[in-house]
């Protein structure tokens, strides 16, 4: 095994007789062809080690310029990784143990070994040293990988925090802009001014979608799919109704095969996200013609599982062939024959593909420029019991005034004698002045709410010590005391229960909706800023107020 190995051996010995003896022993062993260098002083040995690498050092303790353990300590101080075998005339076990503790690999007593023993000791020392060096390198590499992983995780965390912060800081002023524009659209302006405001609102919605897509791309990597019963037909029809309102010269066709179950168990929110992205793209790139949606059962699957196939076909501008392989990559954008880019930053289809993959499915696309595109995808879901649909609440449609039309005047509800009823007291905890203004105006214009404003969570808790409210709208990110801290204080220190005082989070942190933290601290619901649909937000506020009022009436009747 070692016959052809070439070792470099440094013999640090000032006695010519001992040097010659070592040379003779090695010449009689299988190490006879290896290089031996002799140094008579410690200084010479250290210099030799500075200039050349040696596999092993045979070190005598008593040299011309050094004696005792100081010899070993000095050499190892200069070359900590030196592979040293102590070469001594002292036959003392304690001496040998001390030498090993000081850093030597082994020790040899002069006159107590022959050629085979010397060769074996050298080989073992060399292999142990090489093994130790390999372990050290492996440990260094492992530590380097751990550090790189830690840095990668830190960068990922910083990226997530940055996206969350940027999203919050962008969504907060967006809430003010969109809210104020929404209020102005209800005023009696001229047609030209209303057109300007409608353009601002449209561009604001476009900017908000880009913000949401960037945040969604970050979150989608870590999402867990939810599971619930939903009506697939309703999901598709609601989708069509939404798109139909913006369609111009585009017809809409939808076909659902008879064997496709109506009640589905799965993540309705994420599947709807897939539909909205693909179908809205079809309408965006189709100026004339039609958009068709076809749903079929691909295979029943095991047990209650079903694999459904969806095909969305349009007669739009199409996609160039060389772009098709990259269409599902992040930030991939489509342009028409005049090289005009369409709105968007190219994240929608990337998000869609990730969601479909999570649903154990895949998506493909075929297209021809000037003719249209076909997006086909399949997902694995479960067939549900249609009786479960009876428990699903249907949200009634909310009328939104078309641009250019003045909204009807909202009058406060009247009591039986024709006088206005008592307004609903609501506490708003919000530090942003513009969002305070928007929320006040949106609620007060209904004529049903009376708003009190607290500029941070601490002020909100102090107000609640003195006044009673039917509901609190709680911003999350505030100075001094944030929304989470304030809510916990209200529930635990002020001992005000959710039945007595519902609290709704009102935040620009979009990821709050997907977490349960706002619920665990004692909040009952969440309104995300910017509020793009104030009638829906007010309906949510009103529903929680009505639950509280209904419960109070029931308690009064029981007491009576």
Identify the CATH number of the domain in which residue 47 sits. 3.40.50.2300
CA 114 to CA 125: how far, in whole Å?
17
Q: Which residues contact 387 (CB under 8 A, 6 or more apart)?
A: none
Question: How many domains in the chain?
Answer: 3
3-state secondary structure of 378: strand
Element (H, E) at 254: strand 249-256
387 and 256 in a single domain? The answer is yes
CA 218 to CA 213: how far, in whole Å?
9
CATH number of the CATH domain containing 352: 3.30.565.10
Please give the pLDDT value at position 301. Answer: 60
Is 349 a member of any domain? yes
Of the pLDDT bands very low, low, confident and very high (cuts 50, 70, 90), residue 403 is: very low
Domain boundary at 65, 97, 113, which? Answer: 113
In the predicted structure, residue 314 carries a pLDDT above the cut 70: yes
Buried/exposed 369-393: b ≥16 CB within 10 Å, e otherwise: eeebbbbebbbbbbbbeeeebeeee
384 and 496 in a single domain? The answer is no
Tokens representing 197 are 């405001």
25 and 95 in a single domain? The answer is yes
Alpha-carbon distances, residue 75 vs 43, 66, 104, 168 (angstroms) = 9, 10, 11, 62
Count other Cβ atoms within 10 Å, centred on residue 249.
Answer: 9
CA 473 to CA 451: how far, in whole Å?
10
Burial class (CB within 10 angstroms; exposed 0-12, middle 13-18, buried 19+) of 509: buried
358 and 481 in a single domain? The answer is no
Is 462 a member of any domain? yes
In the predicted structure, residue 367 carries a pLDDT above the cut 60: yes
356 and 430 in a single domain? The answer is no
Which of 75-89, 90-104, 308-322, 483-497 has the least mean pLDDT? Answer: 90-104
In the predicted structure, residue 435 carries a pLDDT above the cut 60: yes
244 and 379 in a single domain? The answer is yes
Domain that holds residue 334: 227-391
Which of 116-130, 404-418, 455-469, 529-543 has the least mean pLDDT? Answer: 404-418
**Which of these, 480, 460, 484, lies nearest to 472 by C-alpha position?**
460
**pTM of model > 0.85:** no
In the predicted structure, residue 338 carries a pLDDT above the cut 50: no
pLDDT tens readout for residues 530-556:
887 888 889 899 888 888 877 776 665
382 and 442 in a single domain? The answer is no
Instruction: Report whether 265 contacts 304 (CB < 8 A).
Output: yes
428 and 387 in a single domain? The answer is no
Strand partners, 408: none
462 and 555 in a single domain? The answer is yes
Rounded to the nearest integer, the mean pLDDT of the chain is 80
Q: Reduce the secondary structure of 435-502 to three states and give it as a string.
A: HHHHHHHHHHCCCCEEEEEECCHHHHHHHHHHCCCCEEEECCCCCCCCHHHHHHHHHHCCCCCCCCCC
Q: What percent of the chain has pLDDT over 90?
A: 25
CA 358 to CA 379: how far, in whole Å?
9
State the Cα torsion 334-336-342-345 to the nearest 10°: 20
Laid out side by side, the sheet with 449-454 consists of 449-454, 424-429, 471-474, 503-507, 525-528
Domain boundary at 85, 113, 141, which? Answer: 113
């Amino acid at each position: 095994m070692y016959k052809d190995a070439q070792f470099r051996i440094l013999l640090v010995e000032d006695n010519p007789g001992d040097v010659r003896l070592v040379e003779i022993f090695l010449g009689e062993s299988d190490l006879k062809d290896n290089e031996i260098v002799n140094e008579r002083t410690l200084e010479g040995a250290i210099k030799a080690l500075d200039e050349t690498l040696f596999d092993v050092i045979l070190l005598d303790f008593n040299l011309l310029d050094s004696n005792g353990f100081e010899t070993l300590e000095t050499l190892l101080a200069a070359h900590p990784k030196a592979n040293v075998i102590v070469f001594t005339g002292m036959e003392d076990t304690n001496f040998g143990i001390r030498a090993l503790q000081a850093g030597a690999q082994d020790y040899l007593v002069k006159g107590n070994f022959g050629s085979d023993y010397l060769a074996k000791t050298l080989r073992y020392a060399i292999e142990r040293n090489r093994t130790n060096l390999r372990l050290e390198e492996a440990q260094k590499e492992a530590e380097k990988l751990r550090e790189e992983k830690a840095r990668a995780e830190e960068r990922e965390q910083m990226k997530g925090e940055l996206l969350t912060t940027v999203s919050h800081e962008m969504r907060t002023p967006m809430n003010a802009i969109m809210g104020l524009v929404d209020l102005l659209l209800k005023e009696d302006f001229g047609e030209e001014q209303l057109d300007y405001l409608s353009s601002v609102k449209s561009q604001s919605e476009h900017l908000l979608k880009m913000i949401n897509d960037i945040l969604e791309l970050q979150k989608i990597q870590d999402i867990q799919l939810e599971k619930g019963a939903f009506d697939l037909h309703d999901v598709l029809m609601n989708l069509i109704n939404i798109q139909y309102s913006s369609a111009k010269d585009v017809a809409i066709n939808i076909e659902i095969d008879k064997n496709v179950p109506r009640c589905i168990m799965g993540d309705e929110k994420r599947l709807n996200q897939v539909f909205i992205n693909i179908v809205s793209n079809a309408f965006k790139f189709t100026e004339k013609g039609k958009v068709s949606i076809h749903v079929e059962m691909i295979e029943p699957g095991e047990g209650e599982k079903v694999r459904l196939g969806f095909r969305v076909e349009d007669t739009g501008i199409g996609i160039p062939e060389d772009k098709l392989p990259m269409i599902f990559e992040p930030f991939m954008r489509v342009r028409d024959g005049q090289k005009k880019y369409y709105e968007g930053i190219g994240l929608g289809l990337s998000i869609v593909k990730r969601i479909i993959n999570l649903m154990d499915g895949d998506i493909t696309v075929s297209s021809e420029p000037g003719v249209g595109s076909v997006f086909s995808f399949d997902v694995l879901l479960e067939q549900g019991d249609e009786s479960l649909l009876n428990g699903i609440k249907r949200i009634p449609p909310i009328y939104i005034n078309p641009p250019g039309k003045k909204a009807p005047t909202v009058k406060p509800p009247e009591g039986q004698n024709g006088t206005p009823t008592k307004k609903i007291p609501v506490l708003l905890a919000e530090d942003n002045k513009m969002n305070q203004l928007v929320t006040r105006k949106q609620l007060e214009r209904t004529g049903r709410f009376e708003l009190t404003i607290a500029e941070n969570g601490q002020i909100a808790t102090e107000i609640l010590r003195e006044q009673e409210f039917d509901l609190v709208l709680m911003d999350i990110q505030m100075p001094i005391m944030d929304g989470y801290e304030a809510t916990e204080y209200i529930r635990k220190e002020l001992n005000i229960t959710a039945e007595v005082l519902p609290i709704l989070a009102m935040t620009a942190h979009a990821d709050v909706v997907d977490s349960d933290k706002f619920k665990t601290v004692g909040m009952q619901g969440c309104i995300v800023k910017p509020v793009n649909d104030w009638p829906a937000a007010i309906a949510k506020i009103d529903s929680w107020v009505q639950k509280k009022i209904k419960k109070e009436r029931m308690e009064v009747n029981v007491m009576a």
